[in-house]
Amino acid sequence: MTLRVVPPSKTFTVHSSLLFDPKKKAFRKNISIEVDRDTGSITNVYERDNEDDLRLQIYAGDIDLRGAGKCVLPGLVDSHTHVFLHSYTDRPSIEQMRDASALERIIRATSHVRAALLAGFTTYRDLGTEALGNADAQLRDCINRGLVPGPRMFVATDALASNGSYEIRRENKSLSGSGGLIVPRASDPCDGVDGVRAGVRRRVGDGADIIKFYADYRRKVMRFPGPGTSNTSNQPILFPPDDPRRRNPAVPLFGQDEMDAIVREAKLAELPVAAHAGETKAALMAARAGVTTVEHMFEDSNGLLDETLEEMKRQGTIWVPTLATVESAAPQFMEDCLAAVRKAVKVGVRVATGGDTGVIDHGLNARELELFVKAGIPIEEVLEMATVGGWEACGGELTGYRFGWWEKGCRADIIALDADPREDEKALRKVGFVMKDGKVWKRDGRAVDMITVPEFPPSMDN
């Protein structure tokens, strides 16, 4: 290898020995990627032959990611995140929303987006601030202005929910309807066809890239409030229903006409729609409405899984199963969820990977992909779901960008693993290099340029 100093070029080249191509769902050898340093986009992708590789010249500014054990991937997409939440094992979400200061949550979020970027996730689909209004849109803008490092963010601001359905519960309410404990608003409440249309318009006005609504939720918690649940009494209910699922099941928040109206209004604004659905019943309604994605779908109490998957396939609905959250918060559903993912892939439902990250710590995003592999999905399929699938979940062409694969005009989001994911099941934890939009944020396993130190201006020289 020789190094020749030349004048700065508008482009530089990233060379790889082993590279994953999501469009081909295959690992390829000796691929080079030319990047425009001004636009942060890919200008050319070409394959070198072995003879050329032996006498390859690396010019100043080029990046050499060749070598045994290295594997180059497009930057990964986490298709379901909450940057203003951290691990529920550290502090329950209800306490984070109710008790943590806005400043603490914002400072934590700046750490979360750095951790995600260094873990190789160059795009975040953030589905609700959880009681911080449109702070996610403002954080997105700070990242886009270069004020803080982080993934490319597509945000939902507040999720839509029917009145009294997704809110911070408390027993300390005044009997007269005034006074009592004041808590932050956890969603944008709206009812009826006209009401949900207005709700979508409010989200658009607040800067949302994605419209999210709760198709269902466990909204009847106050019928049998458990000890310590949502700031209620520590005294338990003496004789709750024997079946825990009957105490507070996930039930629909909107009728079919309301879900249809949400999707129609979002389409007018040319925005994708994400539907939270814990149960297949609400997921089926959301798929019929034409949502872009269904999130979660942990339970199938009504035996509707096959019908729901068929409708999702017919509609082109993307499923984001959030397996990492099942493992962390609802492990009793894990085997059923793994089986459902296998079935969905087998019947041809489009799937994207997103961990509901925030329930688990940011920076541990790769766990979602590992669980897909545990479900028996080939690594090539999983990596495609985490790249091209993520782009589609974010809205595809509606995002205004192309990312997640190798093609002229795509964003130059490039990461390198220090292991081959076909051979090392923990390879996705071993991210040694990260580039987003043509800018390097991690090299040789170390963060670079995370803090910009200002230079003294000439006016201060005297």
Helices 334-347 and 305-315, axial angle in degrees (round to 10): 40
In a domain, 3, yes or no: no
Judgement on whether residues 63 and 104 belong to the same structural domain of the protein: no
Which of 382, 399, 416 lies at the terminal end of a domain, its last residue?
Answer: 399
- For residue 54, give the 3-state DSSP assignment: helix
Report the CATH number that the domain containing residue 210 is assigned in CATH. Answer: 3.20.20.140
Judgement on whether residues 81 and 70 belong to the same structural domain of the protein: no
Report the CATH number that the domain containing residue 36 is assigned in CATH. Answer: 2.30.40.10
CA-to-CA dists, residue 177 to 167, 180, 181, 221, 336, angstroms: 17, 8, 11, 20, 43
In a domain, 166, yes or no: yes
Q: What is the dihedral of CA 18, 444, 34, 387, to 10 degrees?
A: 60
Which tokens hold the place of 346? 């087998």
DSSP 9-33: -SEEEEEESEEEETTTTEEEESEEE
How confident is the model at residue 9, as a pLDDT? 80
State how far Cα 125 lies from the chain centre: 4
d(CA 124, CA 77): 6
CA-to-CA dists, residue 150 to 111, 361, 439, 441, angstroms: 9, 15, 12, 9
Judgement on whether residues 84 and 192 belong to the same structural domain of the protein: yes
d(CA 370, CA 383): 10
Measured between alpha carbons, how far apart are the two ends of the chain, in Å? 47
In a domain, 316, yes or no: yes
Judgement on whether residues 220 and 338 belong to the same structural domain of the protein: yes
| Sign of the four-CA dihedral 367, 373, 379, 380 | negative
How confident is the model at residue 405, as a pLDDT? 98
Judgement on whether residues 282 and 143 belong to the same structural domain of the protein: yes
Q: Where are the alpha helices (DSSP H) in 321-439?
A: 323-329, 334-347, 366-374, 379-385, 388-394
In a domain, 2, yes or no: no
Judgement on whether residues 50 and 191 belong to the same structural domain of the protein: no
Which of 359, 375, 399 lies at the terminal end of a domain, its last residue?
Answer: 399
Write out the H or E segment, with its range, that includes residue 156: none
- For residue 377, give the 3-state DSSP assignment: coil
d(CA 108, CA 128): 16
Which tokens hold the place of 396? 């595809």
Which tokens hold the place of 305? 């899984």
Q: What is the dihedral of CA 194, 82, 335, 251, to 10 degrees?
A: -20
In a domain, 176, yes or no: no
| Sign of the four-CA dihedral 424, 297, 347, 256 | negative
Q: Can you give the pTM of this predicted structure?
A: 0.94
Judgement on whether residues 265 and 332 belong to the same structural domain of the protein: yes
pLDDT along the chain (462 residues), means of 10: 62 97 97 98 94 77 94 98 96 93 98 98 98 98 97 98 90 67 92 98 98 96 73 76 84 98 98 98 98 98 97 98 97 97 98 98 98 98 98 98 98 98 98 98 93 81 80
Judgement on whether residues 31 and 116 belong to the same structural domain of the protein: no
* Encoded amino acid at 217, one letter: Y
Judgement on whether residues 159 and 80 belong to the same structural domain of the protein: yes
Give the range of the structural domain holding residue 124, as residue numbers without chain letter.
Answer: 76-170+181-228+250-399
In a domain, 309, yes or no: yes
In a domain, 234, yes or no: no
| Sign of the four-CA dihedral 281, 282, 285, 287 | negative
In degrees, to the nearest 5, what angle opens at C-alpha 238 toward C-alphas 237 and 239? 100
Judgement on whether residues 311 and 426 belong to the same structural domain of the protein: no
In a domain, 454, yes or no: no
How confident is the model at residue 179, as a pLDDT? 66
DSSP state of 229: G
Nearest to 277 by CA among 254, 260, 257: 254
Q: What is the dihedral of CA 256, 125, 316, 403, to 10 degrees?
A: 160
**How many domains does the chain contain in total?**
2
Judgement on whether residues 34 and 23 belong to the same structural domain of the protein: yes
Judgement on whether residues 101 and 143 belong to the same structural domain of the protein: yes
Which of 399, 421, 437 lies at the terminal end of a domain, its last residue?
Answer: 399
Q: Using only C-alpha atoms, what is the Rg of the chain?
A: 23
